Amino acid sequence: MGANREYKSSVFSLLFGEENTLRELYEALEGVTLPPNVPIIINTLEDALFRTRINDISFEAGDKLVVILEHQSTVSPNMPLRLLSYIARVYEKITAGKKTRLYGKKGFSIPRPEFIVLYNGVDPFPEEQTIRLSDAFEDISALGLPVDAPPDLELTAKVFNINEGHNRDMIQKNETLSGYVMFISKVREFETGLSGGKKPEDISQDERKRTIKTAITKAVQWCIANNVLKRFFEENGSEVINMLFDEWKLEDALVVEREEGREEGREEVAKNALAKGASVEFISEITGLSTEAIQNLANL
């Protein structure tokens, strides 16, 4: 599959987008040790539905396990539905050479899926939470059908809070994750200090941009000076500053537009978000519009 030029890397995917780093991260999150001879194969898809920042990484552990790992600053109840769409594409890619056997008499095995979400947003969130696809299913009791039987389709995802002060034992098992958590914490600390504790909506847009970029720059410098992911930041500092600056600008804009959307209407919010390069799936999360409705707006 060819590279999507609109598909931009995030700080998270830049930091964890290597085989050994992913192995160590997965082992820390799940408290397991993978056999050293089991290869880690990255198979992240560059798909039209996931066309903005890469905050998700898909990888296989040998041919036994396929893991979809997401990093999010918001947790949406629509996330399991998005993950279902993603795993379908991953399996399609994995089985691409076996399509003629899909209707054969002899079965073939596929890797077992696992879904993990790492949350580091500013809203309060528990240490760990499980979200389920079935929570989005319509109530069929109105049809006179029984509702006590388990659904024929289910998808569960584990969400871990990786903000500083949460899941300490798990985070400390992985130096890279621990460093990333410290870096984000320092960005927020410097941002608060530079803004005098003001909320984003209480300062001008230009001042807000200057504050964010300065806070990120100071956090990168602090990490290098204090030997926190020092080599990573020495090699990628400028790229990290630009990446995170773009990510936080987009988040700020969407938060403001979501508030304004109470008056302007959800479709106007969606149009503005599309113009800023947000993905269809992310816009669906913040507006409640269907992906089909948003895609129709994109084609206007």
Which amino acid is present at 71? H
Look at residue 91 and tell me if it is in a domain. Answer: yes
Look at residue 69 and tell me if it is in a domain. Answer: yes
Question: What is the model's pLDDT at position 188?
Answer: 92
Q: pLDDT tens, 251-283?
A: 665 555 555 544 456 777 778 777 767 777 777
CA distances from 204 to 209, 258, 271 (A): 9, 18, 23
Question: What is the model's pLDDT at position 272?
Answer: 75
pTM (2 d.p.): 0.79
HEC string of the chain?
Answer: CCCCCCCEECHHHHHHCCHHHHHHHHHHHHCCCCCCCCCEEECCCCCHHHCCEECEEEEEECCCEEEEEEEECCCCCCHHHHHHHHHHHHHHHHCHHHHHHCCCCCCCCCCEEEEEEEECCCCCCCCEEEEEHHHHCCCCHHHCCCCCCCCCCCCEEEEEECCCCCCHHHHHCCHHHHHHHHHHHHHHHHHHHHHCCCCHHHCCHHHHHHHHHHHHHHHHHHHHHCCCCHHHHHHHHHHHHHHHHHHHHHHHHHHHHHHHHHHHCHHHHHHHHHHCCCCHHHHHHHHCCCHHHHHHHHCC
Question: What is the model's pLDDT at position 246?
Answer: 79
Look at residue 118 and tell me if it is in a domain. Answer: yes
Look at residue 5 and tell me if it is in a domain. Answer: yes
Look at residue 122 and tell me if it is in a domain. Answer: yes
Tens place of pLDDT per residue across the chain (300 aa): 333 333 356 888 889 989 999 999 999 999 999 999 999 998 866 543 444 445 678 899 988 999 999 888 888 888 898 899 889 988 888 888 776 677 777 878 889 999 999 999 888 999 999 999 999 898 888 888 887 888 899 999 999 999 999 999 999 999 999 999 999 999 999 998 988 877 766 777 788 888 989 999 999 999 999 999 999 999 999 999 988 887 776 666 555 555 554 445 677 777 877 776 777 777 776 677 778 888 888 876
Tokens 């997401």 — which residue?
A: 70
Q: How far is it, in rounded angstroms, from Cα 10 to Cα 247?
A: 8
Question: What is the model's pLDDT at position 99?
Answer: 66
Q: How far is it, in rounded angstroms, from Cα 291 to Cα 289?
A: 7
| Distance between start and end Cα atoms, the chain | 28
Look at residue 109 and tell me if it is in a domain. Answer: yes
Question: What is the model's pLDDT at position 1?
Answer: 31
**Residue 140 CB neighbours (<10 A):** 11
Look at residue 80 and tell me if it is in a domain. Answer: yes
Domain that holds residue 16: 1-136+149-173
Question: What is the model's pLDDT at position 5?
Answer: 32
Lookup: tokens for 49: 């539905």
Question: What is the model's pLDDT at position 130?
Answer: 95
Look at residue 108 and tell me if it is in a domain. Answer: yes
Q: What's the chain's length in residues?
A: 300
Question: What is the model's pLDDT at position 250?
Answer: 62
Question: What is the model's pLDDT at position 149?
Answer: 81
Number of domains in the chain: 1
